[in-house]
Chains A and B, each alone.
Chain A
Amino acid sequence: DGGITQSPKYLFRKEGQNVTLSCEQNLNHDAMYWYRQDPGQGLRLIYYSQIVNDFQKGDIAEGYSVSREKKESFPLTVTSAQKNPTAFYLCASQTGTVTGELFFGEGSRLTVL
């Protein structure tokens, strides 16, 4: 089945450690996004990529990094510079139609101990 696969589903990290969240899609979508979800704050855009080897910062990019070496993959690294990394992270890809529907993965919950 086509879709977005995020891993791991749950991740625990000690302060000062970098962690990488995986996002893979087999929908053949060009655009991919990373969102952070916190209670009461909706979905906030971290980074997005519209094409391989190119990506742009979203609204809350500080402390995060991404790469887009393949169309199917858009990993997110949460660095030690991110001051409050405990959150639910969602990856999405987007169709190229006029309406640009977003397809989300099931998310990764990161907890910093």
Chain B
Amino acid sequence: QQQVKQSPQSLIVQKGGISIINCAYENTAFDYFPWYQQFPGKGPALLIAIRPDVSEKKEGRFTISFNKSAKQFSLHIMDSQPGDSATYFCAASTTSGTYKYIFGTGTRLKVLA
């Protein structure tokens, strides 16, 4: 119940294409769903996050789509650029009590020039 399942493990996209990464969770107590971006040799950094009271959140080329009934959420990167090549982690947590995050296993994205 505490797992967050992320797919695909790796993704190759042409420049200008759309990158889509999916995550699924089971624990309905989760109410905060961030995405973290990690470049090689660096620590992850918050990219975008969503609460379950909305179905979509957009920040520039990055969009989170959230399906509460299916317990799934996804990251869409529009007009993907080589600079987007990184590892992306979805995560889930509850905003009450301890903010322990449960992370997905990560998706390594490569955008070809």
Q: A residues engaging B (CB < 8 A)?
A: 4, 6, 31, 35, 40-45, 48, 50, 58, 90, 92, 94, 98-102, 104-107
Q: B residues engaging A (CB < 8 A)?
A: 6, 9, 32, 34, 36, 41-46, 49, 89, 93, 95, 98-101, 103-106
User: By DSSP majority rule, is chain A's interface helix, strand, loop, or mixed?
Assistant: strand
Contact A98 B105 (CB under 8 A): no
Contact A90 B43 (CB under 8 A): yes
Summed over the interface, the residue pairs from A and B with CB atoms below 8 Å come to a total of 55
Contact A101 B34 (CB under 8 A): yes
Cα(A2)–Cα(B77), bound, Å: 29
Contact A90 B44 (CB under 8 A): yes
Contact B44 A104 (CB under 8 A): yes
Cα(A94)–Cα(B44), bound, Å: 13
